[in-house]
Amino acid sequence: MRYDLCLPWYWEYDDVFAGMIEHACIEQGVSLWQIKPDNLLESITALYKGITTFKTLLHRGQGEPTFDPIPRWAKEFGARRINPEENSRWSEDKATMHLELITSGLHTPYTILLPPFLEQPVIPRVDLAPLGENFVIKPSNEGGGEGVILGANTVDEILRARMQFPEQKYLLQAHITPRAIEDKPAWFRVFYSNGKTYPCWWDTGTHIYQTIGEEENLRCGLNPLGEITKRIASICNLDWFSTEIALTDQFIVVDYVNDEIDTRVKSQAMDGVPDEIMRCITQQLVKIAKEHSQ
């Protein structure tokens, strides 16, 4: 049997996301194969014996090695892979993406790039003045804020931070203070899914999202959020991801590409993605499978 879409997943909080994918598949006439821990061994066995296969892979089994044979099979046998691993690995490098974005004319925080500690344990004197009084220290390949130091202001903090992830490059970035729009900080997280963009207000303290309506989008002059996100998509070549953008005197891309999206929804978690946006995201992802189902 051949399915149109394969969805491997194991994280308990992916359950609503998986349900939305299933609903979108029913609506669009796409057959779905869900692979979870309770059917993982039987599914991989059937896959490698050619008993059951698929045409498109939406992989949510990252981080669990026992799921790795599934994307490996997909690559070997030419299945359509949503967010292929090699594209994800390239785009998750913040140092690389920083250079790609500025080359493409997008605005980013003032940034100093440092080599990995293991490659260059002792670095030349760094002029921190352009970064301002306080700055941000980020490892190049961590997500979810892991290893990020806010409000740094000394060379010693930089030197010690580089040892936390010694194999990674580091970014020193100027702190961005957004302007206020209608009494809200102009800080946004924008979701991208298969050509469509979904911008949200995003509170950096509480991580709470607020959707942006069409009228509000026009009134506040927020159309560039979608345009910028589509330009990022053309650079990273991912099918779905999120990005953080702040507005000062111009739109600045602050956190470049996050392709391991937290799929918890607002109806289940205070800081979850608005349900209607996650539904739109899943509909767009299923469209990819539908396009490759023939």
Query: Taking the domains of the chain in order of start, what are their residue ranges?
Result: 2-82+285-291, 110-174, 178-258
Using CA atoms, how far apart are residues 72 and 203, in angstroms rounded to an integer?
A: 38
What's the mean pLDDT when you consider all of the chain?
95
Question: Which pLDDT belongs to residue 113?
Answer: 96
Which structure tokens are listed for 161? 């931070």
Instruction: Specify the pLDDT at position 293.
Output: 87
CATH class entry, domain 178-258: alpha beta
Q: Are 33 and 54 in contact (CB under 8 A)?
A: yes
Residue 175 reports pLDDT greater than 90? yes
57, burial (CB in 10 Å: exposed 0-12, middle 13-18, buried 19+): buried
Distances (CA, A) of 182 to 42, 185, 201, 269: 55, 8, 12, 26
C-alpha–C-alpha distance, residues 146 and 140, integer Å: 10
| Residue 4 neighbours by CB distance under 10 Å | 22
pLDDT band at 143 (very low <50, low <70, confident <90, very high): confident
Residue 231 contacts residue 161 (beta carbons within 8 Å) = no
% the chain with pLDDT above 90: 94
- In the chain, which residue ranges form alpha helices assigned H by DSSP? 15-28, 40-48, 69-76, 85-91, 94-103, 155-161, 214-219, 224-236, 275-291
In angstroms, rounded to a whole number, what is the distance separating the alpha carbons of residues 89 and 178? 30
Q: Which CATH number fits domain 110-174: 3.20.20.220, 3.30.1490.20, 2.30.30.90, 3.40.50.300?
A: 3.30.1490.20
Report residue 271's pLDDT band, with 50, 70 and 90 as the boundaries: very high
CATH code given to domain 2-82+285-291:
3.40.50
Chain center to CA of 175: 21
Verdict on whether the full-model pTM lies above 0.75: yes
pLDDT of residue 73: 98
109 three-state secondary structure? coil
